[in-house]
Chains A and B, each alone.
Chain A
Amino acid sequence: MSGGKKCPFTEVKNHTARRLTNDVVGMVKNTKKMNAMWIEVTGCSGNIISLLNSENPGLYDILTGTVNLTYNNTIMGLEGEFAFEKFLETLDTEFILLVDGAVSTKEKGRYNIVANYNGKNITALEAIQLAGGKAKYVVAVGTCASHGGISAAKPNPSESKSVQEVLSRQVIKLPGCPCHPDWVVGTIAHLVGYGIPQLDNEGRPLLFYGVTIHDTCTRRGFFDKGIFAQKFGEEGCMFKIGCRGPITKTDCPRRKWNGYVNWPIGDNTNCIGCAQSQFPDGMEPFVKYTD
């Protein structure tokens, strides 16, 4: 390859979200931006933190260039009823609903109150059903929203459910614990600029969830040569200590995390299948050793 040129394969993988967003920012610059609400429900708020880690493009560019975010508990200026009124106002507009967390249904949803409005407690269940019925698109961000995740882990004390289970409509699913910021940003950009991206039979965008981790693993060579790690901290393929890479579909090996510097297998630990619908119960034990 001649000097100055970069491998197109790596470029595309690393910058899909940036490329999509740049295109879309150009498209929406002179038109009214679509509204979006990011609602945190039963979870750890790790997906909004992951979004704050977004780099290509960064958070500031997302908030000023792609969509008009009208509601998010973690960063918005308003509080109390004034904040919840933004939620209510947005319902009458064209908007994308992004849900971070599972929906708790025990005791009619009273294990998770998201607001007090006119003296009435608003449960997460009510808020999601209300907004989910009116949104142009619904995106489940992270494994809890997509499949129940750790919030619904056995014995599921809060009777948490996925967003899909409480809404009778199409829900785009972006599992991952947390969801990679590029997966969210890229999906939002696609929705704004091109509509719904091509999805697999579990509702995941093929762009990010098309192949298994094992397919493109940086340690695939070890597997092919039969060189296996016996425990954490070692080079070698993690297959024999329970790596979930062979069944987990994400682009982690190519994309990597946090400035694209590392990922769990790069840190000498196995994939724990955090983007799988059966996570965590069906992915355990996370840690096991070959005998």
Chain B
Amino acid sequence: MGKTITIDPVTRISGFLEIKAEVEGNTIAKANASGLLFRGFEKMLKGRSPLDAVYFTERICGICSTAHSMASTLALEDALKVTVSLNDNYIRDIMHGFEFIQNHLRHFYLLSIPSYVKISSLKLIEEQQYTDFRLPEKINKKIEDDYVKSIELSRLAHEGLALLGGKAPHNHGIFVGGVTANIDAYKLEKVKDIIRKAEAFVKNIMVEDVEIISKYYSDYFKKGISYPYFMTYGTFDRYEDPEITYVKPGVMKDNIKYNLEPDKITEQIQYAWYKKDEGLEEVDLSKLNAYTFIKAPRYLGFPMEVGPLARLIVSGEYKNGHSCMDRNIARVLETEKILGIMKNLAERVELIPNNQQVYSIPEKAYGVGMIDTTRGALGHWIEIDKSVINHYNIITPTVWNLSPKDESNLHGTIERALIGTKLNNIKEPIEIGRIVRSFDPCVSCATHLIGSAGDTEIVEVLV
């Protein structure tokens, strides 16, 4: 008879997550991840003015609101057939870049590091139920100091975003047709200065810190290994110039690269607290065997890993494994990579006004916005009817990573990463939190999403 470990709340993530793991011997044999918050944004969006989707959907998530402003704006531009100038795309990508930097700095230092490094000057962070802290005192102190320094850098990344977008989180500046800011020499110089400061920190400090951690916790290259399935919708990919390009859309499965075909995405609800009622989805907390508010999206029927590691693997830049520690390393390497792209984008920005127009809303239209954001592949799908939102569907990155089992009983990506992991000390299952956090889950994003109103269990996403 195995032992069941329940961790709820999994802290130092965004939102509410419970992990239940069954351990046999000292190895995790079963794992269920439960997202425990439901808001129902799709129902709220129905009937609202399409242009309001940008500021409305940002409020899905406080840590990655810029991601939603990007995807909703792209979906609206698709529906309204609006094109964006090169200069506006540069500025928009710089804003999105600042969000990556803010997120990755905060995730790495504030959320992830306290599982590996003792932060003894802050009581709230220092208190832990585990004892597996391996760094020698001097090295521990160095990373603890870096933790404190990172607070200012992540704040500064949001300042860069606000310079161009008005405020953060929940910016106003990313909007249909490009941006709303009129870039000037002062703003651009300040943006460049923040990029320089962040780059100095990441290159000189953050990269070294993750190297140290991967050395002292090298067993984590063997823990938290999930499926060899990776997907990206592409990000910083609207240009031909390689100096400002990161990754084009793609899928990597068993080391073979494929083009992304969006019509191969499905969503299943077998183990999620939803039922179909005359084609519409409703919450059903009494549903047998269901254990989460998160649905199970699949690509060609397979769970996919999304996020920094997936992007670096699909772009061919990361050749090591796909363990807990590989994910931590990929996040840091990507931070440096994106700062390089932002620097090159800023060099190309011209001091010309924005291109805002008066946009008229068609009677009927359909639009798709798919883009990779901090945590991975984010899709917004909007259907306009009678000039208002008739249907809005969102599949967030965390839904991909944190999905439950599907109809073929294939576990979601994080569940799979937990299963098979050996616990060093069954009384102190610190591995679970470390592995879950390596995916940077955002449950605020993941648990209020409703699929299309189809009448089969497997829902085809309209593309």
Chain A residues near B (Cβ < 8 Å): 40, 42-50, 52-55, 58-60, 63-64, 68-80, 82-84, 86, 104, 107, 110-116, 119, 149-151, 153-158, 160, 177-178, 230-234, 257-259, 261-269, 272, 274, 280, 284-289
User: B181 is contacted by which of A177, A259, A268 (Cβ under 8 Å)?
Assistant: A268
**Residues in B whose Cβ lies below 8 Å from that of A76:** 11-12, 124-125, 127
Query: Residues of B within 8 Å of A, CB-based: how many?
Result: 85
B455 to chain A, nearest CB (A): 21
Q: Is the CB–CB distance between A44 and B59 below 8 Å?
A: yes
**Residues in A whose Cβ lies below 8 Å from that of B7:** 79-80
**Residues in A whose Cβ lies below 8 Å from that of B358:** 230-231, 289
**Taking the complex as formed, is B10 at the interface, i.e. its CB lies under 8 A from any CB of chain A?**
yes
Q: A77 CA to B117 CA in the complex, in Å? A: 11
Q: Is the CB–CB distance between A233 and B62 below 8 Å?
A: no
**Residues in A whose Cβ lies below 8 Å from that of B162:** 257-259, 261-262
Chain B residues near A (Cβ < 8 Å): 6-16, 18, 36-40, 43-44, 48-49, 51-52, 54-56, 59-63, 65, 106, 110-111, 114, 119, 121-129, 148, 151-152, 154-156, 158-159, 161-173, 175, 179-182, 190, 283, 285, 293, 353-359, 433, 444
User: With A53-B158, A269-B172 known to touch, is A74 a contact of B56 (CB < 8 Å)?
Assistant: no
Given contacts A104-B38, A258-B163, A267-B164, 8 further A-B contacts (CB under 8 A): A44-B169, A46-B59, A48-B62, A49-B169, A156-B44, A265-B166, A267-B165, A286-B56
A236 to chain B, nearest CB (A): 12
Q: A257 CA to B19 CA in the complex, in Å? A: 37
User: A258 is contacted by which of B63, B161, B355 (Cβ under 8 Å)?
Assistant: B161
**Residues in B whose Cβ lies below 8 Å from that of A258:** 155, 158-159, 161-163, 167-168
B396 to chain A, nearest CB (A): 12
Q: Is the CB–CB distance between B16 and A269 below 8 Å?
A: no
Q: Is the CB–CB distance between A114 and B9 below 8 Å?
A: yes
User: With A42-B37, A266-B166 known to touch, is A52 a contact of B106 (CB < 8 Å)?
Assistant: yes
User: B169 is contacted by which of A50, A104, A231, A280 (Cβ under 8 Å)?
Assistant: A50
B241 to chain A, nearest CB (A): 26
Q: A270 CA to B14 CA in the complex, in Å? A: 29
**Residues in A whose Cβ lies below 8 Å from that of B54:** 287
**Residues in B whose Cβ lies below 8 Å from that of A40:** 15
25 A–B contacts from the bound complex (CB under 8 Å): A43-B62, A44-B444, A45-B14, A52-B106, A54-B155, A75-B125, A76-B127, A77-B128, A155-B44, A157-B39, A178-B169, A231-B357, A233-B179, A233-B182, A234-B356, A257-B167, A258-B155, A262-B162, A262-B167, A264-B167, A267-B171, A267-B172, A268-B354, A272-B55, A287-B51
**Residues in A whose Cβ lies below 8 Å from that of B444:** 43-45
Q: Is the CB–CB distance between A73 and B62 below 8 Å?
A: no
B277 to chain A, nearest CB (A): 14
**Residues in B whose Cβ lies below 8 Å from that of A79:** 7, 9-12, 129, 433
